[in-house]
Amino acid sequence: MKFNTSLLHTVKPDKNSRGETIPPIYQVSAFAYDSAEQLEKVFNNKAAGFSYTRVGNPTVDAFEKRIAALEGGIGAVACASGMAAISSTLLNILQAGDEVIVSTGLFGGTIELFEDLSAFGITAHFLESVTYETVSAAVNENTKAVFTELIGNPKLDVADIGGISKACKEAGIPLIVDSTTATPYLVNPLKLGADIVIHSTSKYINGGGNSISGVIVDGGSFKWNSGKFPNFGDFAKYGIFAFMFKLRNRIWRNTGSCISPFNAYMNIVGLETLGLRMERCYDNALKLAEFFEQTDGVTVNYPALPSSPYYELAKSELSGRGGAIVTIRAGSREKAFALMNNLKYASIATNIGDVRTLVIHPASTIYTHSTEQQRISAGVYGDSIRISVGIEDAEDLIEDFAQAIAAAKI
Ligand SMILES: *Cc1c(COP(=O)(O)O)cnc(C)c1O
């Protein structure tokens, strides 16, 4: 099966199906049983079944199975948001005294989360560039994971997952990849050596900008019983399933990070058109990026342009695609604001992965709590605009940006 067929046909209907073409919304909190004995079994993982939607739900389960299949993982856990997916993953692995190697080009919320974790004795070591060499040099005996985005949002630096995973394997630590901006259409990080993949499914997987949500996929490739993770305790005996089992039974469940059945349903609907949407978004992004490259007064950053330092990596790792985010620099904050205010089609909004084109000035919004140094390390300048390219007609988008650039006197 090729990609688009697999989106529709990989996961077979549930055995309780009545022939519904997509999984229905089980909008309930609890599931009743005929006997106390039965509920006891479900609670103790001795019988399959659902007890309470914070812990599991058939619609959520259907979504998780689709994502696990799509990424080639042994299982997936859906979460209330992308940030819930990231925080649950980190808290499932780490304890006080642990250190994580992290790229500076991360999403602003993730950078702030690492700062929050310092209050719990967890230290993040930020690297400008996360590669085999830099990771190997930075690892020490307290390092318990490497965390990177596959295509940094909004730095648009592309991570060499093969190289980084080699360094992780040598150090005996897991590689966690936030692949939100790359999407499973471009790349399956688990196949390149990542151990855990995270998506903010609020973005491309949902595709319609209608459901905050996230997902964690476990590749089943990491051995948690090496002695390096004493906090896994009894869970270590589950071998490759230890991460998923611990996650589901402890931190994810107990922080209440579950997704709502309705949002899981919206994501299932969105997922079915992921391939069609991404194809169009990438085409539009490349056309827009090429247009900006020809335009005086703006500079453009897009990994699929030969001018990008990540061009070769995008070629080998992402089959030459660059994702659907383009960033430009307009010359000054004032010009950037004027450009944005003059756009007819692009909405000024803090989101990516919608079918409609969205623009934002990251320095004054997503990175407003960051220091100047953090912003620059994340590729965010005072005059930067991030464009999340939608599925409109490329001609209309180019015409719109051309008139806004002229109106902003750039
Ligand atoms: C949006 C985003 C997140 C956070 O996801 P939410 O669903 O907003 O919580 C994390 N990582 C990346 C790369 C994102 O773009």
| Nearest residue to 402 via CA among 311, 310, 323, 288 | 288
Q: Round to whole Å and give the CA distance between 118 and 99.
A: 10
Of 102, 112, 114, 153, which is best to mutate to test ligand 1, by the most ligand atoms within 8 angstroms of its C-beta? 153
Report CA(403)–ligand 1 centroid distance (Å).
31
The predicted structure's pLDDT at residue 15:
80
β-sheet bridge partners, residue 30: 52
Tell whether ligand 1 has an atom less than 6 A from the beta carbon of residue 267. Answer: no
φ, ψ of residue 255 in degrees (nearest 5): -90, -5
What is the full DSSP assignment across 303-338? TTSTTSTTHHHHHHHSTT---SEEEEE-SSHHHHHH
Tell whether ligand 1 has an atom less than 6 A from the beta carbon of residue 203. Answer: yes
Query: Which amino acid is located at 253 in the chain?
Result: R
Q: Round to whole Å and give the CA distance between 272 and 5.
A: 9
Tell me the average pLDDT across 219-234.
94
Report CA(216)–ligand 1 centroid distance (Å).
12
Determine the length of the chain. Answer: 410
The predicted structure's pLDDT at residue 13:
84
The predicted structure's pLDDT at residue 168:
98
The tokens for 356 are 């409609």
Per residue in 87-143, pLDDT tens?
A: 999 999 999 999 999 999 899 999 999 999 999 999 999 999 999 999 999 999 999
Residue with the bigger pLDDT between 403 and 14: it is 403
Tell whether ligand 1 has an atom less than 6 A from the beta carbon of residue 147. Answer: no
Tell me the average pLDDT across 399-404.
98
Please, which pLDDT band fits residue 158 given cuts at 50, 70 and 90?
very high
The predicted structure's pLDDT at residue 120:
97
SS3 of residue 365 by DSSP: coil
Tell me the average pLDDT across 21-35.
97
Packing angle of the helix pair 242-249, 82-93 (nearest 10 deg): 110
pTM of the model: 0.97
Q: Round to whole Å and give the CA distance between 89 and 83.
A: 10
Please, which pLDDT band fits residue 82 given cuts at 50, 70 and 90?
very high
Residue 17 has pLDDT above 90, yes or no: no
Tell me the average pLDDT across 354-362.
98
Count Cα neighbours of 210 within 13 Å in the Cβ-side half-sphere: 14
Report CA(198)–ligand 1 centroid distance (Å).
9
Q: In the chain, what are the domains?
A: 3-270 (3.40.640.10), 275-407 (3.90.1150.10)
Residue 382 has pLDDT above 90, yes or no: yes
Tell whether ligand 1 has an atom less than 6 A from the beta carbon of residue 212. Answer: yes
DSSP code at position 234: G
Per residue in 178-196, pLDDT tens?
A: 999 999 999 999 999 999 9
The tokens for 124 are 């993040």
H helices then E strands: how many in the chain?
Answer: 17, 12
The predicted structure's pLDDT at residue 115:
95
The predicted structure's pLDDT at residue 190:
98
The predicted structure's pLDDT at residue 161:
98
Please, which pLDDT band fits residue 156 given cuts at 50, 70 and 90?
very high
The predicted structure's pLDDT at residue 297:
95
The tokens for 132 are 């085999």
Per residue in 252-278, pLDDT tens?
A: 999 999 999 999 999 999 999 999 999
Of 107, 259, 267, 367, which is best to mutate to test ligand 1, by the most ligand atoms within 8 angstroms of its C-beta? 107
Query: Which amino acid is located at 395 in the chain?
Result: E
The tokens for 388 are 């999340």
The predicted structure's pLDDT at residue 328:
98
Tell me the average pLDDT across 71-100.
98
SS3 of residue 127 by DSSP: strand
Residue 311 has pLDDT above 90, yes or no: yes
Please provide the average confidence, as pLDDT, over all residues in the chain: 96
